[in-house]
Structure 1
Amino acid sequence: MSSFIHLRFQEHSCHNLCSALHPLTSLISTLRCFPAIYNFGDANSDTGADSATFGRLPYPNGETYFGKPSGRMCDGRLIVDFIAEKVGLPLLNAYLDSLQSNFRHGANFAASQATIQPVNGQLCEGHYSPLSLGIQLLEFEQLKVRTYEFYNEANISHTKGKGGLPRPKDFSEALYTIDCGQNDLYFLVTTMTEDQAKAAIPNITNQFVQVIEKLYQEGARKFWIHNTGPIGCLPYMVMYHSKANEVDEIGCIKSYNEVAQEFNKQLKYRTDQLSCDLQGVEVTYVDIYSAKYTLIKEATNHGFVDRFEYCCGNANCKCWEKSETNVSACSNPSQYISWDGLHYTEAANYWIASRIVNGSYSDPPTSLLNAR
């Protein structure tokens, strides 16, 4: 990533950044594709749930854009932040963050270490968040019910805004984004054989689809679904889990990526079924895997350092761990794809977001600006 782009991250306003992502610059400030976004997922889109619930993430997380820890396992913004900016909305507040949260334009239920599967049995608390996708759904349902109760008790029109609460009418017009599955796959590939892992995938995709179906029953109609990225290319995985004969042509763990690809194949099939079965639903399936793999494969071509280097922390001190002591980070995170070995930098998130919002990696290939 060039130094010019890095400066733009720090100097440009929200709408200018939206303009950088799309040529329709004059429309960004006046045209909103959606009145709100409701997001569900894991650390790839967590804007503060884990930090608010289990302890604040330490600096240097957040250093590039926010200048302080922001609840994101990143030096700056995430893909979901750039999506919000793209459609002219504020960055999403975490639902579980009680300080200065405003849900007028949506809410973020994603939590770091969250899984699609509920945390019980084999998935042990301590390794994974109890705030699984099903729990995030319950949080959304509570927000919706209590919002309606407040408007009805106060005799306020459902079309009018009230403080930091959503407008009830916006629930059916909002965009529902989901990015979850990486932690489920991590559990599979590190505890099972490849065949066992692939055999476990249908149960996981079933639970994913059940959440979409329940959101549909709650009135959601427009979905933006990310498949899972190439888990075998994460520097942490390559460093601690790979063997020389298990890597592909660019050094990623081949078997891990094959499990991810099988998950994505099944998820795509199930979401295609939803488009046929649910009347009025609009499901956009986003191939995050291909976007991320392309970036990792072509890292140096796009101004990044070696694809498996990361900026923050080391083998003994992890950047994502809650600690009294600040972890050291590199001086130029915009040159790294990986922030801490597991999560992406703002620069990488910007690169990916700029290529998915126009529909290049989507099925159907619809730009967010045209998905109203």
Structure 2
Amino acid sequence: MASFCFGKSCIMVCYVVLMAILVDGANAKCAFEAMFAFGDSNSDTGGFFAAFPSQPPPYGMTYFNKPTGRASDGRNFVDFLAQSLGLPFISPYLQSIGSDFRHGANFATAGSTVLQPQTSLFVNGVSPFYLQVQVNQLRQFKAKVEEYSQYQGQTNLPPPDVFGKALYTIYIGQNDITGYAGSGGPGGIKQVQSQLVSQTISAIKELYSMGARSFVVLNIGPVGCYPSFLVQFPHQSSDFDASGCLASYNNAVNEYNYALKSSVEQARQELKDANLMYVDTYSVILELFQKPTDHGLQHGTTACCGYGGGPYNFNPQLLVVFAVLISIVAMSPITEAKCDFRAIFNFGDSNSDTGGFWSAFPAANPPNGMTYFKKPAGRASDGRLVIDFLAQGLGLPFLSPYLQSIGSDYRHGANFATLASTVRVPQTSLFVTGVSPFSLSIQLNQMKHFKAQVDQFHSNYSGINNLPSPDVFGKSLYTFYIGQNDFTGNLPYIGINGVKKYLPEVVTLITNTIKEIYALGGRTFFVMNLAPIGCYPAFLVELTHTASDIDKFGCMISYNNAVVEYNSLLKEALRKTRGEIDGANVIYVDTHSVLLDLFQHPSSHGLKYGTKACCGIGGAYNFNPKVFCGNTNPVNGQNLTAGACTDPYNYVSWDGIHATEAANKVVARAILNGSHFDPPFALRSLCDVQPIG
């Protein structure tokens, strides 16, 4: 995950790139209006740390005089290249505060790979934003630019025609190579060579199809000279060359670079009107390692920032990088003052995600959003969620997702929830088990980062009109709707008893988070309990049970009983927390009983169907795990499509796992009525509650 480029080395790499542009672009006027960067820590200007805030000093010490999300003491290659082309620094796509995308966007994140990661960020430090995700983000960015060009007042976006007039830089692959080298030696690099090259070229062609015409493809540096890899890679003393580098690893990288160059040349023939520039950064960086004094430097294979002494000044157990930091980043009376919530800050999963997950991993398809928004809106429902109705009832606008960098308005709060999030830190990859990397601890760190940025921008800048005032954090409502994925994620594998073993940990992590937010100024907390998952169509299909386990309403008794046990633990823990933090309203919200009544007596709430999904296909529950809502997949030799019903207002379940807008409205009304709180909290009499439509 190490980044090499800093100071003079970045300037040299930038010079080589510029020479390549001038040579390849000799027949066309070189005047790029924007730059779009794809890559890893070598070109990340803050994207990773916008999503996973955790970067301490001494990063950024040289130029910015503070950490800025770059894996360097100062500027990196992308910064110098932008400057050389007469462009400002490129804002990270995932940075939602203070960004300016008029001259491009940076999709690179530290730890990113070309290949889809199969392990968790919190296990081996590999970013979930691999190359295809970055390309998908560009696609979504382009769609947003075209959409917002129709409106007045959006001043931080480029014109829609910019995509054919921009430079696209691709500087990625180092983490794939070093990951396989660390486990398989030089042979590990050769094992994935063709796959890496193929997927890089596929990404270029996909960008070309979106209008891109000028590409800079940088090869991989001599990893056999990097201090961290000299310490960690398996090798023998005979493998060292005269410069102190590992010859076998550098030779393997050279083979990869040759294959990449050949494929870029072939792609150049296929994409006739495109400028594809292969840039040999390897030779530049190798010379820096071999002859640092020739370039005004002193030390080649010794790290500036590290610990451990020796020739490399590097100790992998004390490495000051994001992987270690991320893994570390793990009854009293109710105050009845007049309620005037100026904002809501929400933490959760898909039950309250208003677009965060799909901002980071674009993929939302119809029929999601069909009822209210008339298009996918990043919500796992046909329309609005409980959090949408709750905001409306309190006289606030919909909450903008923290990870949504375009069109967001944070004056009345922010939503840190993302689909598939857990309370516990995930140990598996999103692309293997579907669990979001944005666990509760990450959402809390995002909140802290958000608060710091609000303080910073109000102190140092004027004209920032999409942020709240710094005093808002003590005058806000903090909502938690999370834990369902911790409960259900492992149920098919370890059963109810296995899940019960770690439920106390889930509860403790929630209450600890409340205490941390209290320390930041938060005073009013609504914590929703878990829903009766034994009534959900998806779990009725997927979870093992017997006929005797089904109650008269068609729900699984054993699973619902287990949820009730968890809810009791949560309720008691919140009661205890209430006694530990003075002057706070910590409210347990019993959404479970509302949803259970909806499943058991849908007609009492104006609905018809309880345990049958609106959007799905097959069987009594209209749910097939092989074909999820809105998808078409082959099943037993034929393509099946999971479509939506025409009357979602008659259903409790939208897609087998999530609720319809109609059901969400019933739950929200129960909350706003104040009848499901413990301890009692007179929300309606204390607050100016608005009717929800």
TM-score (norm 1): 0.85
Report the Cα offset of residue 357 of structure 1.
Answer: 1.2
Match of 1:282 among 565, 581, 585: 585
Amino acid corresponding to residue 662 of structure 2 in structure 1: A
Distance 1:301 1:288 in 2: 17
Give the 5 Å matches for 1:163-202. Answer: 163-202=465-504
Counterparts in 2 of 1:319 and 1:106: CA distance versus 1, 3 Å: same
Match of 2:643 among 324, 328, 344: 328
Report the Cα offset of residue 187 of structure 1.
Answer: 2.3
Report the Cα offset of residue 162 of structure 1.
Answer: 4.5
Match of 1:218 in 2: 520
Match of 2:683 among 353, 359, 368: 368
Distance 2:628 2:558 in 1: 25
Report the Cα offset of residue 188 of structure 1.
Answer: 4.2
Stretch deviating more after TM superposition (190-199 or 72-81): 190-199
Give the 5 Å matches for 1:13-52. Answer: 33-52=340-359
Match of 1:58 in 2: 365
Indicate yes or no: 2:393 matched with 1:86: yes
Distance 1:358 1:248 in 2: 29
Match of 2:256 in 1: none
Distance 2:432 2:445 in 1: 19
Indicate yes or no: 2:603 matched with 1:300: yes
Indicate yes or no: 2:646 matched with 1:343: no
CA contact (8 A) 1:49 1:109 kept: yes
Distance 1:59 1:121 in 2: 28
Distance 1:69 1:121 in 2: 28
Deviation per residue, 1:214-266 (Å, 9 max, x gap)? 11111111001101111111111112223312222322111211221111111
CA contact (8 A) 1:60 1:326 kept: no
Distance 1:188 1:287 in 2: 24
Match of 1:317 among 627, 631, 638: 627
Amino acid corresponding to residue 117 of structure 1 in structure 2: R
Match of 1:234 among 536, 539, 560: 536
Match of 2:436 in 1: 129
Counterparts in 2 of 1:210 and 1:82: CA distance versus 1, 3 Å: same
Counterparts in 2 of 1:371 and 1:86: CA distance versus 1, 3 Å: same
Report the Cα offset of residue 198 of structure 1.
Answer: 1.9
Amino acid corresponding to residue 421 of structure 2 in structure 1: A
Indicate yes or no: 2:455 matched with 1:148: yes
Indicate yes or no: 2:433 matched with 1:106: no
Amino acid corresponding to residue 393 of structure 2 in structure 1: K
CA contact (8 A) 1:48 1:71 kept: yes
CA contact (8 A) 1:94 1:101 kept: yes
CA contact (8 A) 1:64 1:75 kept: yes
Deviation per residue, 1:96-142 (Å, 9 max, x gap)? 01110000000000011000001126998642100111111111111
Distance 1:168 1:84 in 2: 20
Distance 1:102 1:249 in 2: 46
Distance 1:116 1:48 in 2: 19
Counterparts in 2 of 1:98 and 1:105: CA distance versus 1, 3 Å: same
Distance 2:500 2:596 in 1: 20
CA contact (8 A) 2:511 2:574 kept: yes
Distance 1:232 1:211 in 2: 28
TM-score (norm 2): 0.47
Counterparts in 2 of 1:162 and 1:32: CA distance versus 1, 3 Å: farther
Considering Cα pairs closer than 8 Å and 6+ residues apart, tell me whether 1 or 2 has the greater RCO: 1
Secondary structure in 2 aligned to 1:114?
coil
CA contact (8 A) 1:41 1:110 kept: yes
Aligned-residue identity in percent? 38
CA contact (8 A) 1:46 1:110 kept: yes
Report the Cα offset of residue 196 of structure 1.
Answer: 2.8
CA contact (8 A) 1:176 1:220 kept: yes
Stretch deviating more after TM superposition (205-214 or 360-369): 360-369
Distance 2:497 2:641 in 1: 41
Stretch deviating more after TM superposition (258-267 or 305-314): 305-314
Match of 1:204 in 2: 506
Distance 1:233 1:76 in 2: 21
Stretch deviating more after TM superposition (358-367 or 192-201): 192-201
Distance 2:571 2:464 in 1: 38
Secondary structure in 2 aligned to 1:196?
helix
Match of 2:668 among 336, 342, 353: 353
Give the 5 Å matches for 1:5-16. Answer: none
Indicate yes or no: 2:571 matched with 1:256: no
Counterparts in 2 of 1:326 and 1:145: CA distance versus 1, 3 Å: farther
Stretch deviating more after TM superposition (356-365 or 137-146): 356-365
Report the Cα offset of residue 300 of structure 1.
Answer: 2.7
Match of 1:246 in 2: 549
Distance 1:321 1:212 in 2: 38
CA contact (8 A) 1:189 1:259 kept: no
CA contact (8 A) 2:339 2:686 kept: no
Distance 1:321 1:279 in 2: 50
Report the Cα offset of residue 286 of structure 1.
Answer: 0.5
Distance 2:508 2:676 in 1: 23
Deviation per residue, 1:307-342 (Å, 9 max, x gap)? 11111122242127699x985211111001100000
Structure 1 stretches of 5 or more lacking a match? 1-30
CA contact (8 A) 1:56 1:322 kept: no
Give the 5 Å matches for 1:66-81. Answer: 66-81=373-388
CA contact (8 A) 2:631 2:641 kept: no
Distance 2:349 2:482 in 1: 6
Report the Cα offset of residue 71 of structure 1.
Answer: 0.3
Distance 1:269 1:40 in 2: 20
Counterparts in 2 of 1:99 and 1:327: CA distance versus 1, 3 Å: farther
CA contact (8 A) 2:356 2:404 kept: yes
Distance 2:563 2:435 in 1: 19
Counterparts in 2 of 1:215 and 1:174: CA distance versus 1, 3 Å: same
Match of 2:446 in 1: 139
The structure number with the bigger radius of gyration is 2
Stretch deviating more after TM superposition (349-358 or 362-371): 362-371
